[in-house]
Amino acid sequence: MRLQELEVIAQKMVAGNRGLLAADESTGTIEKRFKAIGVASTEESRRAYRNMLFTAPGLEKFISGVILYDETIRQKTLSNVPFADYLTGLGIVPGIKVDKGAKPLANSPDEKITEGLDGLRERLQEYYKLGARFAKWRAVIDISENIPTGYCIRANAQALARYAALCQEAQIVPIVEPEVLMDGAHGIERCAAVTVSTLKAVFDELYTHGVALEGMILKPNMVISGMLCPHQASVEQVARETLRVLKERVPAAVPGIMFLSGGQSAELATAHLNAMNVLSNHPWKLSFSYGRALQAQSLEAWKGQADRQMAGQKALIHRAACNSSACAGTYTAQMEKAA
């Protein structure tokens, strides 16, 4: 492992008030999103959609990296340039989703364990040759009355650490993504407690597995009320609680924390990120790694029609610019009205 090269990539991913575009939806997930706008999901339509996103003029001003899916990293732009090469040419780092999804956890079927470690070393070597310089692995921690169990948290933390170690061996920066889900009726206090336990287990395992913290990125949930909770925490409360939990459990050596949106609306995810950066006084860069919160408006504007590509790109750039401003703590609601 050449740590200096990993550090350079990780620092590039969080530099300049830029963030990540998560475009790593599985074929099944993107089929559902296409169905909602009346577009058939084929290899060609998925390629056209990703082409629309990646070739948006000025994307590199706000986006530092793009998380790709296995199919996408093997595809080319409509002008016949491999997507990974095209993004690299813009100064955007190509990345790749490498997990195989969350499956029922043995002996605790209400919980999930992420699979995909078998054959990962060889897949990472191939993805590096295809141009990927970072990877992503998502663990899912659900909250209800009797879960999560310590067993689930430990099992997922160990898998994340094994994945991260293999990534660094392959000279690929690992994004470590332990997501405490916002489904459910729990309050922000319960989310905070579970997030603290999860992050403690994750960093204990990262240490045990010899993962260099300077050469990784953390992609956590924000500390937030469950979607069904009758008392939703304010934007300021979410910002304060999230920073409190992160300061308690995330070492300063980690270059950046790039939040997932986790089902929040696009505007709320941006407002929460902005509020955290307004509070400042934290040792890591705070940025975004959003999927739906960046893409939803763009997808709706595009509608699978070539003559609407510019409208889709304009919607993407608007959201990316708003989130870039949130990284600087300068986002305002007026930016939404201006659009």
**Residues recognised as catalytic:** 177, 219
* Nearest alpha carbon to residue 200 among 189, 208, 190: 208
CA 254 vs CA 97, 222, 273: distances in Å: 20, 17, 18
Cis amide linkage into residue 178, ω under 30° from 0: no
SS3 of 165, please? helix
Give ∠ CA 64-131-320 in degrees, rounded to 5.
Answer: 20
First-to-last CA distance in the chain? 45
- Please say whether the beta carbons of 116 and 127 come within 8 A: no
User: Of all helices (H) and strands (E), which one includes residue 102?
Assistant: strand 102-105
User: How many Cα neighbours within 13 Å face the side chain of 90?
Assistant: 22
* DSSP one-letter code for 221: P
**3-state class (DSSP) for residue 97:** strand
Tokens 């409190």 label which residue? 244
Ramachandran region, residue 93 (left: φ > 0; alpha: ψ -120 to 50; beta: rest): beta
> Do 64 and 93 meet the contact criterion of CB atoms below 8 Å apart?
yes
Q: Which parts of 14-78 fold into alpha helices (H)?
A: 27-36, 43-54, 70-73
